[in-house]
Structure 1
Amino acid sequence: MSNKSEIETAKPSFLASIYRKAGGLRQFLISFLVLFVVWEAGVRIFGVATYLLPPPSLIWSEFASTWEYVLANTWITTSEIIVGYLVAVAVSVPLAVFVAYFPTMERMFYPIVVFLQIVPKIAIAPLFIIWFGFGFTPKILLVFLLSFFPIVVSSISGFKSIDDESMELAKSTGASAWMIFRKIRLPNALPSIFTGLKVAAALSSTAAVVAEFVASDKGLGYLLLRYNGDLETPMVFATIIVLSIVGLIVYYAVELLERIAIPWHVSQRKDSDPQPTA
């Protein structure tokens, strides 16, 4: 009973956790505020031409006049990122399970996976345009390809990292294969899986923009090419910032899911452990 009460006492309160996260957010916002102030002052003091490096105030004013058009294209790119990313997750994790359970699958498919990762994606994009046209499909496929490799490699590593002693102990208790997978293999693999998911989330926005660079008449990649060609540098910066925000949202959505799924893992507990008191 005393052990239980000690554990409950050691757990940080929900309000304390929210306060810490709010403090981190404040530091994040202050850092960017300082960056924008220095940027604005430097451009004005040194008289840098706006087509080379516009001040943040000009970027904001230009964006404010066309925000509806930019956000309409943002939704197009975001949908490409989300759909391609989810397809990569749906294919990668089950494939990693098969590879972990059947070594023959690893010998058959792993070289193909590595080959697909080595091939430059910008070289594959024109082929997707030829095969599938200028629609939604080639963009999804490119996001899928760029997201697939980090997820499958991390997932395979996670599923194969369980030690033999734990497996033998579970089998000796009469646990079924499904029970071993659900209680041992999957929880043990989740930290590695989420590592791959976060890497893929960071790469997915790049893949969508590359696909739109190749052939598209809408989306943030298309806007970047158009504004760059017209030397509308403030809108180039505005589009880049919007794209970065989309990428951050996807990344932190995955990180939030990780905190919910594996709160017991050391990577999630280290920030919430109570500070020792004298």
Structure 2
Amino acid sequence: MATMARQVPKMGVTLASDRVIYPLIVLLLFFAAWQYGTGLFGIPNYLLPTPSDFLGKFVSDWAALSYHFASTAYVVLLGFLIATSISIPLGLAIASYPSLRRNAMPLFVFFEIIPKTITAPLLIVWFGFGFSPRIALTAVMTFFPILVNSIAGFSSINPRLGLITRSMGATPWQTFRLMRVPAALPHIFSGMKIGMVYAVAGCMTAEFVGANEGLAYLILSASSFMDTALMFAGIVATALLGMLLTGALLALEKWMMPWRNERS
């Protein structure tokens, strides 16, 4: 037992190094090759800026980058929360009533097939410029993957288990809270992680079509001045936003499903 106890911290350190240190080393090697490769092959900075050029923009243009970063993050979070608050209860309803699934799902699939990029100008006509069309497009793009995974999660329990729990004296609320929700959570979080990626993409699409703030607006403004270093800085900031929000979602997943951590 003492030997096993000594091995557990070692395994934790090894896992931490595998997840953090090694990817960081690969990233640093990639940036080093980029930094010296552009000069080696004679690529001009106005076409492909070096990492030192666009990372320096986070210092020289910090005020602009932080402002537009916060604007995009606000739209992504609000659109994601709206889509989540609608799609999960709707997924439960569709999973609980087969007639609703037969009648409603073809309609949702029809609207999902429509490319969302062509609906962005229509949303601007309806809601005008500002946060409203961006939030609406973000919520629309996030809605479907969370809905589909919520339906799969709430449908994953064998109905006979509900009969068994009721025969043992459990109330419908206890069956739902202690059996159906825990079984559905892995599917729901899978859909939410996909939806978070779609939320960032939807917000950027709306900003490209029509916005006066946000990271996509910053990238478009920088392109009009041929400031490729600032454009790359905006792209990196967008990637960082997606990583931060996905990391927060992973932390929430671990907190809400502690039994998966114990199993792993």
TM-score category, normalised to shorter length:
over 0.9
**Whole-angstrom CA distance in 2 between matches of 1:60 and 1:254:** 26
Indicate yes or no: 2:192 matched with 1:210. Answer: no
User: What residue is the counterpart of 1:256 in the other structure?
Assistant: 251
Q: Give the CA RMSD over aligned residues.
A: 2.3
Alignment of structure 1 residues 109-188 onto 2, 5 Å: 109-188=104-183
Q: Which amino acid aligns with 2:240?
A: I
Deviations 1:181-204 (A, max 9, x none): 111111110000010011111121
Deviations 1:228-272 (A, max 9, x none): 22221111111000010000011111111111111213xx456x4
Aligned CA distance change for structure 1 residues 34 and 103 (closer, same or farther; 3 Å): same
User: What residue is the counterpart of 1:276 in the other structure?
Assistant: none
Q: Which amino acid aligns with 1:128?
A: L
User: What residue is the counterpart of 2:96 in the other structure?
Assistant: 101
Alignment of structure 1 residues 65-84 onto 2, 5 Å: 65-84=60-79
What is the aligned counterpart of 1:89 among 84, 93, 100? 84
Deviation at 1:12, TM superposition (A): 5.1
Secondary structure in 1 aligned to 2:221? helix
**Whole-angstrom CA distance in 2 between matches of 1:10 and 1:80:** 47
Aligned CA distance change for structure 1 residues 149 and 18 (closer, same or farther; 3 Å): farther
Indicate yes or no: 2:247 matched with 1:244. Answer: no
**Whole-angstrom CA distance in 1 between matches of 2:131 and 2:8:** 46
Deviation at 1:22, TM superposition (A): 5.3
**Whole-angstrom CA distance in 1 between matches of 2:71 and 2:191:** 25
**Whole-angstrom CA distance in 1 between matches of 2:135 and 2:7:** 43
Deviations 1:141-193 (A, max 9, x none): 11101111110100100000111332221122232221111111111100000
Secondary structure in 1 aligned to 2:259? coil
What is the aligned counterpart of 1:49 among 44, 62, 70? 44
Deviations 1:86-145 (A, max 9, x none): 111100111011111111221232122212211111111111111111021111111101
Secondary structure in 2 aligned to 1:264? helix
Secondary structure in 1 aligned to 2:165? helix
Equivalent residue pairs, number: 263
Secondary structure in 2 aligned to 1:149? helix
TM-score under structure 2 normalisation?
A: 0.92
User: What residue is the counterpart of 1:61 in the other structure?
Assistant: 56
**Whole-angstrom CA distance in 1 between matches of 2:176 and 2:15:** 35
Aligned CA distance change for structure 1 residues 157 and 11 (closer, same or farther; 3 Å): farther
Q: Which amino acid aligns with 2:164?
A: L
**Whole-angstrom CA distance in 2 between matches of 1:106 and 1:10:** 53
Q: Which amino acid aligns with 2:202?
A: A
Q: Is 2:130–2:212's contact at 8 Å kept on the other side of the alignment?
A: no
